[in-house]
Amino acid sequence: MRLASKNPTSACLDDDFLAEVCNLPEKNLAVELLERLLEGEIKSKFASNVVQQKKFSELLTDVVKRYQNRSIETAQVMEELVAMAKKFREAAVRGEALGLSEDEVKFYDALANNESAVRELPDETLKRIAHELTENLRKNISVDWSQRESVRAKLRIMVKRILRKYGYPPDFQDEAIQTVLQQAEALGAEWV
């Protein structure tokens, strides 16, 4: 068995590796291994993507909790964890398919977190908003921006203007602004 991979960051995403783990004789250990691998992957791949990190962390927590409460069997938890690993792999390479940079995808995710925005706005509009947000936030973020309320207020106004410019649905605009600013904060250290 090859539990060690040449590329450890994608070890749990490899179909062959997932099949090997699923065929381990000790199913409880296989579940624990998959859980830990996914947890590590979430922390490493989506460390600066607040939406995806939260989404996958909640999915993993939910599956593990149901397994620990004995509401699902070992075979079912294995299936769900393998399916999650495949979703994770797809999410990790989504930027290329969307034609967005790594940072733009993070803001795209923050905007697409609102279902009414996804329904009302075409995908191209969400991409343009993500691109403009990334560009403007990168230019306007300073070293101490997250501590200075005046700078945060300026950025909040800038984000709100961009969302209005493209017709982002007003019902969740405040939530989107908060998520975008959280995302900018997660990226801030990399940008400064």
Q: Would you kindly state where each structural domain of the chain is located, as residue ranges?
A: 8-92, 100-191
6: confidence class by pLDDT, cuts 50, 70, 90: very low
Looking at residue 134, its pLDDT comes to: 93
Give 66's contacts (C-beta < 8 A, 6+ positions apart): 72, 77
> Between the CA of residue 62 and those of 28, 81, 123, what are the distances in Å?
17, 11, 30
Residue in this structure with the two tokens 């908003």, named with its chain if needed:
129
Q: What is the pTM of this model?
A: 0.79
> Between the CA of residue 146 and those of 53, 115, 151, 162, 174, what are the distances in Å?
20, 28, 8, 20, 18
Q: Report the alpha-carbon distance of residue 112 to residue 60 in Å, rounded.
A: 21
- Structure confidence by residue, pLDDT tens digits, 123-170: 999 999 999 999 998 888 765 666 678 878 888 999 999 999 999 988
For residues 177 and 156, the answer to whether their CB atoms sit within 8 Å is yes
Looking at residue 144, its pLDDT comes to: 64
Looking at residue 5, its pLDDT comes to: 38
**Exposure of 46 in the CB half-sphere (CA atoms within 13 A):** 27
Average pLDDT over residues 176-181: 91
Q: For residue 130, which of 56, 51, 189, 41 has the smallest C-alpha distance?
A: 51
Query: How crowded is residue 184: how many other Cβ atoms within 10 Å of its Cβ?
Result: 27
